[in-house]
Structure 1
Amino acid sequence: MIAKSTIDAVYDTARVEEVIGDFVQLKKSGANFKGLSPFSDERTPSFMVSPVKQIWKDFSSGKGGNVVAFLMEHEHFTYPEAIKYLAKKYNIEIEETEQSQEDKAAASEKESMYLVSEFAQKHFSETLWRSEPGKAIGLTYFKERGFTTETIEKFGLGYCLDEWDGFTNAALKKGYKLEFLEKTGLTIVKEAGTDRQRTFDRFKARVMFPIHSMSGRVLGFGGRILTNDKKAAKYLNSPESEIYHKSKVLYGIYYAKQAIAKEDVCYLVEGYTDVIQLYQRGIHNVVASSGTALTPEQIRLIGRLTNNITVLFDGDAAGMRASLRGVDLILEQGLNVRVCTFPEGEDPDSYAKNHSYEEVKDFLENNAKDFIQFKTSLLFAETAHDPIKKAETVRDIVSSISKIPDRIKQEIYIQECARMLDVSEEVLFNTLAQNRKKEINAAVKEAKKDKEKAFEVVKNEPQRPQVNQQALLERKILELLLLYGNMEAEFEDLILKEDDKGELALEPEMVSAKVYEKIYLDLQEDEIGFTHGNFQAIFGLIVQEMNQNPEFNMGQFLSDKDIGLVEEISSILMEDEKYVLHEWEKKEIYPKSKEVGVAQIVSETILTLRCVLVKKQISELQANLAQGPEADNSGILEEVLGYIQLNKILSKKLNRVMA
């Protein structure tokens, strides 16, 4: 168990904007930061981070919370893992108490797979540096590639011995279960007769490249064979597992994320050694698709950090043509794409190895072409004297342009394309329109199919959900408590008195109090309790905390709360922040600051809640009226009239017209 002193130190030190900034590209937006949601596919930012409140809210998915909740949601960490990650990031020493057997047994399957993978990485690394075969074969290979000792250690490179089950036996001796060795793909298990199994190391006799998540956890491995065995694949990747999905992972993203956000561009290469060699040369904002063709998920991963991707190709024209699909995928995701090709016979690895940082940097900046220039130069070289092939190439390029979701960008690219290809803009726009028409027709056909399916079973129209006014008001009260609970204000207290004519009326009386005291006493006076979800629990916790600690600290308050409550509180706190996304100031609309009239908002909210509850009581009493000529409802009717009179008084104070 992690000591409370460590947890408190983590919450005191960790900055939500810094931690989330490692995973999402954040831009300043008033007092907050905004960015694209890491939990959904969106092109308009709806992800908000509040440095003042130390919380975040994703309006597209509804998720929210503090810094620990983000790591648990985004990286699938357990609570202790998130605390340890933050402690490591901020150089906080971790104090731990002895973990019980029950706690150890409660570790999830996924966590067990992470632990097995992390052990494997350390084992392969130790084998590389300490065993004779590791040094003679693996280390020699890496040194011949030009990798320094520092680089080899940084990327956690290693070697798996040329033994059938050397690694598996080492892991089993350390207490790791065969079940998880098999599930991660590190060990292959085969049946060998009755009640017998044979185990094999998947990466036998290979140099090892660990593949990390964005937060640095080992997800899987890539292994390169060094022998000339024609039956064995040159590169072998970990199989898909609970923790490793190759279509959603980019090699090197853990080391590159900060440089990508800082440089506002990501260099995309093909191989592990391309990434490592460029990184060693000083180009840190580089990643590779991890042993798979580029996927939309991988592009979106980059899109959280930058809108700009430069794809680096070697001089092999056939390989470049095969990779054009990746360029179209990047365009579909709304990102800007450039392409840089190396001289014939060179690739990113060899070029970085044989040139200085300045030379590599200059080459990348001076040779990166817009995707239209690249496609034109690549495809037109083969179609220069063939009008039919030239027409096909033009259609191909227009097809790429049609994938760009931004219409303004489309028009600019069409103009550029017309200039470069010597084709009229009108013809290109017509071709673009034809492409759009085909897409629309295809979408309409799909919609018709869905409609026909819908008529196969008759369904009642879903009822529009009714607004729960009481829940909204309870939520508003919690928001006021969280934002202004410790603020001192002058309140107009309303005292119910009889006037000279014997009629009830509310008389104002000014009182000075803290917001949380005023709300608590008003609700206690009317015996009002929260009825929605976790609201009553949150209300009690806030009042207790503010009563005990005059200096209310949101980070400390949320540090030991249930993750469900943390998400609920963050959602309440950040509700108003979604309107910041509209950037009202740019439209010359300047909303009035809430702080100016907190006392008025508090009073009006509680008055409105009283009105709602009075109306609810009237409805319940009317429902209890007895039926029949002999029914005596005088008592109930008198009570109803009393509530109606009270409702009129409250509504009058709120300046509302009563029916």
Structure 2
Amino acid sequence: MAGRIRSEDVALVRERVSVADVIGEHVTLKSAGGGNLKGLCPFHDERTPSFNVTPSRGFWHCFGCGAGGDAISFLTQLEHLSFAEAVERLASKAGITLHYETADGHAARSAGKPGQRQRLLAAHAEAARFYAEQLTSPDAQPARRFLAERGFDQQAAQDYGCGFAPDAWDALTRHLRTKGFTNDELTVGGLAKPARSGSLIDRFRRRLVWPIHDIGGDVIGFGARKLFDDDNGPKYLNTPETPLYKKSQVLYGIHRAKREIAKQSQVVIVEGYTDVMACQLAGETTAVATCGTAFGPEHITVLRRLLMDTDEFAGKIVFTFDGDEAGQRAALKAFSDEQRFMAQTFIAVSPGGMDPCELRMASGDAAVRDLIAGREHLVDFAIRSILAKHDLDSVEGRVAALRAAAPLVAKIKDRSLRPGYTQRLAGRLGEDVDMVRKWVQAAGRGEAPPANPAAPARVPGPQRTAEREALKLAIQLPDLAGPYFDAVEAEYYQDPVHVAVRDAVTKAGGASAAPGGPNWIAAVTGACDDLAAAALVAELAVEPPRVTGEPDAFYVNTTMATVQRPTVERQVHGLKSRLQRINPQTDGEEYMRIFGELVTLEQRLRGLREQVSRGV
């Protein structure tokens, strides 16, 4: 409705509406003497009544929590309505026609006919009753079967107002006409539409119908599910845009969930009507769903009002999406919208990609509650979804993954969370935290990423020294060093020239079987592929070992442990990062396999570290 409500009409609502009647629908009031009433405050827990109502002045006040106001403010706080929504609700009950005007005080032309909203709401309420009655008819058996197959009994159907649109072109239209509603009202409200012949026909036909309520509980539209194969329409058909129904603002189930959302500071976003029913019936009473459109900014505005969302991270938003590619895209879209929230945002994806309704049918109410309880932070899910698209076991894959994920971390609205997620991203990639931080910072500034993060780092001095000493022992004392040396392959060496010499030892037959002396040195030299490696063999053949006295088995073992340790440390780090990328609930077998490898490798690393420390 364009424009604001005329101030004179607001004053009339305050004058005619009894504050005691409005509050009495929600609070048990008893006489407190002097014409005053008292009851338990609905806005905070208390055992002794401190909530006072003064009907003669149209005012209420709680001496416990300090809240107070008139009938309008009571509804805005209790029902989480906007000021205009509360006024319209009270005006409708009191039979008051509201008028609207623009900011400059002129009548708003687009406001519609006087009393139009009230008339459309009445038509929708009657339509909801009509559809609900039709659900018990013989022709509605397919609709009842649909509900029963999804775990919803007759009581659930009644509680949620489920109905059936008869197999007739104008059954609802004829019914509403007998109630005094005009063709224009039925068309404007989206309940009927013109046929080619010029007559009016029902919007929905031969479908299971759900009434859609606004946050105040008024029916403003319907959602209808196809039941028959010869129905050529879409699977779900919703009310079109009307003066009442704005799909970008509507959340199915919000009128039932609003108080629990405010009480728990949590809302669960699901994808369909049956998912809302399944969640709420399973005990997740904060579930709501969008109606035929994606979750967007205007939905966020509605929820922020319920969550009291401010600059503090007080509330929780839990999205449930199918585990398929479309569901992941929806989740990543939600991440972008989540930045408009100050609440903590999570995602819950059930095993096998089942939606909450399917999960409840397969495993019961507890499984639905476990799904929501097992949620993960949306940022974690978004990062994991991006990394899953890349081969993180290759250098190129890790660089591509970092290029894709760094902007996402940079977009996290709460700056205090960025360092933690930067560290987590580095762990999953198996990359240096400082390097990943530079990429995230560059992405946040809209700059190009730093130089190639995968460029090999310089070999540390101690590592180079250990590798040289190991090669020296294999060349000079193959009979002593051979068994230890041959067990440590070339992959543990980092210096390229050292790797070439290590390969030459293998090509020469290995140190364990070497005779030693000049023939062994000549064999290794001849097996070298380049001059640098051959020159190094000549140096190592005459260079004294770095040990006081004669080398022994302990010294050789310590040297080889020093060579291996950095590589094993990287392998442990890599397995840990792989574990972080695996969901133990959906990929339990793979998770346990990697975990077993990690345990074994960590035991080996401990042994290497102990050997090195004993040799120092």
Q: TM-score, normalised by structure 1?
A: 0.52
Which of 123, 144, 149 is equivalent to 1:116?
A: 123
TM-superposed deviation, 1:139: 2.0
Aligned AA (1:377) = R
Instruction: State the match for 2:351 in structure 1.
Output: 343
Which of 362, 368, 386 pairs up with 1:360?
A: 368
Match of 1:201 in 2: 202
| Aligned counterpart, 2:233 | 232
1:412 paired residue number: 420
Partner of 2:159: 154
Give, in angstroms, the shift of residue 236 of structure 1: 0.6
- 1:177 is aligned to 182
Asked if structure 2 preserves the Cα contact closer than 8 Å seen for 1:72 and 1:82, the reply is: no
- Structure 2: distance between partners of 1:401 and 1:319: 21
Give the distance between the partners of 1:100 and 1:260, measured in 2 at CA: 31
Q: What are the residue-to-residue correspondences of 1:162-561 with 2, within 5 Å?
A: 162-190=167-195, 192=197, 197-229=198-230, 231-306=232-307, 307-344=315-352, 346-365=354-373, 367-384=374-391, 385=393, 387-388=395-396, 390-438=398-446
What is the CA distance between 1:302 and its match in structure 2? 2.2
Distance 2:420 2:443 in 1: 17
Partner of 1:137: 142
Q: 1:165 to 1:65 in 2, by over 3 A?
A: closer
Task: Give the 3 Å change call, closer, same or farther, for CA 138–360 of structure 1 in structure 2.
Answer: closer
What is the CA distance between 1:50 and its match in structure 2?
Answer: 10
Compute the displacement of 1:4 (Å): 8.8
State the match for 1:639 in structure 2.
none
Query: Distance between the aligned counterparts of 1:348 and 1:154, measured in 2?
Result: 19
- The Cα shift of 1:191 comes to 5.8
Secondary structure of 1:248's partner? Answer: coil
Separation in 2 of the partners of 1:187 and 1:78?
A: 28
Q: 2 CA distance for matches of 1:388 and 1:241? A: 53
Cα deviation per residue 1:593-644 (whole Å; 9 max; x = unaligned)? xxxxxxxxxxxxxxxxxxxxxxxxxxxxxxxxxxxxxxxxxxxxxxxxxxxx
**Distance in 2 between residues matched to 1:150 and 1:399, nearest whole Å:** 49
Partners of 2:417 and 2:358 in 1: how far apart? Answer: 35
Distance 1:177 1:121 in 2: 17
Counterpart of 1:55, as a letter, is: G
Aligned counterpart for 1:74 among listed residues 67, 79, 82: 82
**Partners of 1:212 and 1:252 within 8 A in 2:** yes
Aligned mates of 1:162, 1:409 — CA distance in 2: 56
Aligned residue for 2:221, secondary structure, equals: strand
User: Residue 372 of structure 1 contacts residue 397 of structure 1 at CA under 8 Å; is this kept in 2?
Assistant: no
Kept in 2, the 8 Å contact 1:414–1:425? The answer is: yes
Equivalent residue, structure 1, for 2:579: none
Q: How far apart in 2 are the matches of 1:215 and 1:102?
A: 18
Number of equivalences? 388
Q: Is 1:7 equivalent to 2:18 in the alignment? A: yes
**Tell me, what secondary structure is at the counterpart of 1:304?**
helix
State whether residues 135 and 143 of structure 2, in contact with CA within 8 Å, keep that contact through their aligned partners in structure 1. yes
Structure 1: 5+ residue stretches without partners: 17-23, 28-48, 57-63, 86-95, 440-659
Report the residue type matching 2:117 in the other structure.
K
Equivalent-residue separation in structure 1 for 2:134 and 2:75 (angstroms) = 35
Superposed CA deviations along residues 162-182 of structure 1, whole A, max 9, x for unmatched, are: 111111111112111111211
Q: Structure 1 residues 8 and 236, CA, compared in 2 at 3 Å: closer, same or farther?
A: closer
Q: In structure 2, what is the Cα distance between the partners aligned to 1:413 and 1:65?
A: 45
Q: Check conservation: 1:25, 1:261, Cα contact below 8 A.
A: no
Q: Distance in 1 between matches of 2:301 and 2:98?
A: 39
CA–CA separation in structure 2 for the residues paired with 1:380 and 1:101: 58
> Any idea what SS the aligned residue of 2:302 has?
helix
Where do residues 17-166 of structure 1 align in structure 2 (5 Å cutoff)? 52=66, 54-55=68-69, 66-67=73-74, 74=82, 76-77=84-85, 79=87, 81-82=89-90, 108-129=115-136, 131-134=137-140, 136-166=141-171
TM-score of the two chains, using structure 2 as the length reference: 0.56
Whole-Å separation in 2 of the counterparts to 1:80 and 1:232: 35
| Partner SS, residue 223 of structure 1 | strand
Aligned to 1:640: none
After superposition, the Cα gap between the structure-2 partners of 1:387 and 1:206, relative to the gap in structure 1 and judged at 3 Å, is: farther
The Cα shift of 1:149 comes to: 2.0
* Residue ranges of structure 2 left out of the alignment (5+ in a row): 1-11, 28-41, 46-62, 100-111, 308-314, 448-616
Q: Distance in 2 between matches of 1:411 and 1:400?
A: 13
What amino acid sits opposite 2:241 in the alignment?
Answer: E
**Could you tell me how far apart the structure 2 residues matched to 1:335 and 1:240 are?**
30
Cα distance change of structure 1 residues 332 and 401 upon mapping to structure 2, 3 Å threshold: farther
